[in-house]
Amino acid sequence: MDRRIIRKRYLTVYEAREALKSRMEGHDRIGEVHERTWNYFLLHASKSGEEARRAFESLSKLGLSDDVIVNLLNVCPQTEGEVRSILSMKKEMKLDPELIDNILSILRSFCSS
């Protein structure tokens, strides 16, 4: 079976969990890699993909890049220092206190629910 890439985008662990779940449905047996991945998701991805997409959209409105947003949502940093650490992935990004406060506000809502 030939596969064709239609589009590429970054996924949060929450969205990846939903994708793997739908792929596993209807299969009696899954491979070892899928099983290990599923176990990781059960431990670390308790939110729904829809919640993650809403948080993604909110963070996107702040002008953050997709890769930074996915890292923020996957890690769920709780302090200014942790957010700064993730934002430092993009050297050109200006780390102003208002941006960091807005990010933390969105993450607190997403990560604590």
Number of domains in the chain: 2
- Provide the pLDDT confidence category of residue 1 given band limits of 50, 70 and 90: low
Residue 100 belongs to domain spanning: 49-112
Q: Are 76 and 110 in contact (CB under 8 A)?
A: yes
Q: Among 20, 13, 8, 113, which Cα is nearest to 73's?
A: 13
What pTM, to 2 d.p., does this model score? 0.83
Q: Where are the alpha helices (DSSP H) in 25-65?
A: 32-44, 49-60
Are residues 60 and 30 part of one domain?
no
* Residue 95, pLDDT score: 83
CA distances from 87 to 11, 48, 69, 77, 103 (A): 18, 24, 9, 11, 10
Q: Report the pLDDT averaged over residues 66-83.
A: 95
Are residues 71 and 39 part of one domain?
no
Q: What percent of the chain has pLDDT over 90?
A: 51
Are residues 56 and 33 part of one domain?
no
Q: Tell me the pLDDT tens digit for each residue of 38-56.
A: 888 888 788 888 999 999 9
